């Protein structure tokens, strides 16, 4: 019975992924008419529930791997089950978020409400790339301490951060913190970064760029850092420790805005220390 505990957490991952999809299907665009006759279009704030369930999926996905190693309960079935759950939680559910953000971006154009739905289809390149990445992982026989291509949960978390940034970044708090602990120039830079990010989240071409970038990274053969520690020495784990050391203060200062930046940093550190990854 104990050997099945990791599989229970994998199924919980799938359950939260299904809940994320349900939340995404229930979050339609808000369309209102302003007093001046102009249309106001926005995403409902409750769409953050999709991100919440994706985050819960990520948590239990980590736990199922941890338990499988701790209990020595790795199995072929567990591997297949994990990939199926990840496809739903970090492929299909995040694609719904991108679908809604693309709708918002195009709806704000003068003729946006009349544009073809084909413009929204690229959102589903994410689950296609995730399926390819996971299937390739399942059939690979070689054992490596690094990932081949961007892990699907990392891509899902990147996308899940978008509504959290859109609705929950507290610009006043962060700028005040910057002025207290650093200086006015850094505070202004953070404000510019946040305002720019909020604007480009409503730009369809930026969203397409995210889709292309994440899809290519997932299907690529680029060796990327894993967090399977064979020892805790600085020499063997330098990129891992650097990522942790930089990520913690980054998250404290930038809050949700830090999530996509941490994943970008993860990729850059992996490329920088490519020769140390086996």
Give the pLDDT confidence of 205-216 residue by residue, as tens digits.
999 999 999 999
| Average pLDDT of the residues in 233-239 | 72
Give me the helices (H) in the chain, please.
5-25, 48-70, 76-87, 93-107, 125-139, 152-168, 171-181, 184-200, 204-219, 234-254, 258-272
> Percent of the chain scored above 90 by pLDDT?
37
Q: What per-residue confidence (pLDDT) applies to 89?
A: 96
Q: What per-residue confidence (pLDDT) applies to 60?
A: 93
Q: 121 falls in which pLDDT band (50, 70, 90)?
A: very high
User: What is the residue-averaged pLDDT of the chain?
Assistant: 82
Q: 198 falls in which pLDDT band (50, 70, 90)?
A: low
Could you report the per-residue pLDDT of 165-183, keeping only the tens digit for each? 887 665 454 555 554 444 5
On the 0-12 / 13-18 / 19+ scale of CB atoms within 10 A, 206 is middle
Alpha-carbon span 56 to 87, nearest angstrom:
15
**pLDDT(254) > 60:** yes
Q: What per-residue confidence (pLDDT) applies to 92?
A: 97
Residues 6+ apart with CB under 8 A from 143: none
In angstroms and rounded to an integer, the radius of gyration of the C-alpha atoms of the chain is 20
Alpha-carbon span 88 to 92, nearest angstrom:
5
| Average pLDDT of the residues in 33-59 | 80
């Amino acid at each position: 019975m104990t050997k099945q505990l990791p599989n229970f957490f994998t199924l919980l991952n799938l359950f939260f992924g299904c809940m994320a999809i349900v939340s995404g299907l229930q979050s339609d665009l808000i369309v209102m008419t302003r007093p001046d006759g102009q249309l106001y279009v926005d995403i409902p704030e409750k769409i953050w529930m999709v991100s919440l369930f994706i985050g819960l999926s990520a948590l239990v996905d980590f736990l199922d791997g941890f338990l499988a190693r701790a209990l020595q309960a790795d199995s072929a079935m567990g591997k297949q089950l994990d990939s199926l759950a990840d496809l739903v939680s970090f492929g299909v559910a995040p694609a719904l978020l991108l679908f809604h953000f693309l709708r918002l971006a195009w709806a704000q154009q003068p003729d946006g409400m009349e544009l073809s739905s084909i413009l929204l289809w690229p959102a589903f390149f994410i689950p296609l790339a995730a399926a390819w990445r996971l299937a390739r992982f399942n059939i690979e026989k070689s054992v490596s301490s690094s990932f081949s291509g961007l892990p699907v949960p990392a891509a899902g978390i990147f996308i899940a951060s978008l509504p959290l940034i859109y609705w929950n970044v507290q610009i006043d708090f962060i700028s005040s913190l910057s002025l207290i602990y650093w200086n006015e120039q850094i505070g202004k830079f953070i404000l510019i970064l946040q305002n720019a990010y909020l604007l480009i989240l409503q730009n369809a071409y930026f969203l397409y760029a995210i889709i292309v970038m994440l899809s290519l990274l997932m299907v690529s053969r680029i060796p990327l850092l894993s967090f399977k520690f064979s020892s805790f020495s600085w020499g063997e784990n330098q990129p891992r420790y650097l990522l942790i050391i930089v990520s913690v203060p980054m998250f404290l200062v930038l809050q949700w805005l830090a999530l996509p930046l941490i994943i970008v940093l993860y990729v850059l550190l992996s490329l920088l220390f490519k020769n140390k990854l086996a």
